[in-house]
Amino acid sequence: MSRRPVIGIPTQTLHVIDGIPQGLPPSWVMNQRYYLAAIAAGAVPWMIPLLDEDPDTLREIYDRLDGLLVAGGVDMDPTTYGVPPHPRLGAIDPARDRVELQLTRWALEEGKPFFGICRGLQVMNVIRGGTLLQDIEAERPGALKHDYLPTEGHPRDFLAHAVRLAAGSRLHRTFGGAEEVRVNSMHHQAIDRLGAGLLVSASAPDGLIEGIETENGGYAVAVQWHPEAMAAGHYLPLLEPFIAATRPH
């Protein structure tokens, strides 16, 4: 029986839990949907702690992984892509930024399979020198509403809009050559300037980038929507090629 590939999924910082005030050691957490989706696709998920001050241990963890999945979460600190904060910048997690940027840099440089979801797409873009819109509504007048958030009463699997898939892209092949698919949408940030060596594989009707992949080299794909919150018939076609890329060829 072949060994199931190990997929690392970085955590995020939870500063307050059960009334414990800030200032005490924080917790590292992550939504279970990402781990359950990885299991359903045939992988063994591995929670990665935010060891931003211990690069040696972080590297030891990375070396044991067969693939890296960077999940959704809070906004990236705009200093990571060289711009000042916008008034509508949301919460940030600097330790998570540092860990995910380092892990993603290693993965893209060394060809370890990578899959990004929502914030993960943004991390992939930033590591290649791209920039982000810190708030779509404020910085891209006329854009569609993209922040259909659960905090506003929207279910996480609400199909907000279609995305057009670029012909010949990995995403296009993943969905059997379909020209477009409908997706959920839970983000207020998005790619502004595309990073070097990246191709746009999916776009929203307003032109915002919804999917990217590397031009060449190892498997590296990211989407702006949240497939883990959708039915298995949507997330499995996305995750299975990623998991397959981690296996020996």
> For position 20, what pLDDT does the model report?
56
| Contact (Cβ atoms closer than 8 angstroms) between residue 200 and residue 212 | yes
Say which of 161, 187, 226, 234 is annotated catalytic. 226
The pLDDT tens digits of the residues spanning 150-183 come to 989 999 999 999 999 999 999 999 999 999 999 9
Cα-to-chain-centroid distance, residue 220: 11
Residue 141 within any structural domain of the chain:
yes
> For position 121, what pLDDT does the model report?
98
Cα-to-chain-centroid distance, residue 24: 28
Say which of 100, 118, 146, 161 is annotated catalytic. 118
H-state helical runs in the chain: 32-40, 55-63, 94-110, 119-127, 136-139, 170-174, 232-245
Q: Rounded to an integer, what distance in angstroms lies between the CA atom of residue 129 and that of residue 60? A: 26
Residue 166 within any structural domain of the chain:
yes
pLDDT, averaged across the chain = 94
Alpha-carbon torsion (153, 157, 159, 162), positive or negative: positive
Count of structural domains, the chain:
1
Residue 239 within any structural domain of the chain:
yes
- Residue 137 annotated as catalytic: no
CA dist list (Å): 20 to 26, 91, 92, 161: 9, 19, 19, 39
- Residue 154 annotated as catalytic: no
Stretch 135-149: mean pLDDT: 97
Q: What is the CATH number of the domain that holds 212?
A: 3.40.50.880
Stretch 110-116: mean pLDDT: 97
The pLDDT tens digits of the residues spanning 201-242 come to 999 999 999 999 999 878 999 999 999 999 999 999 999 999
How long, in residues, is the chain?
249
Stretch 6-11: mean pLDDT: 98
pLDDT at 18 over 90: no
What pLDDT band is residue 110 in, cutting at 50, 70 and 90?
very high
Domain that holds residue 178: 6-245
> For position 248, what pLDDT does the model report?
75
What pLDDT band is residue 19 in, cutting at 50, 70 and 90?
low
Residue 1 within any structural domain of the chain:
no
Say which of 100, 188, 228, 234 is annotated catalytic. 228
pLDDT at 16 over 60: no
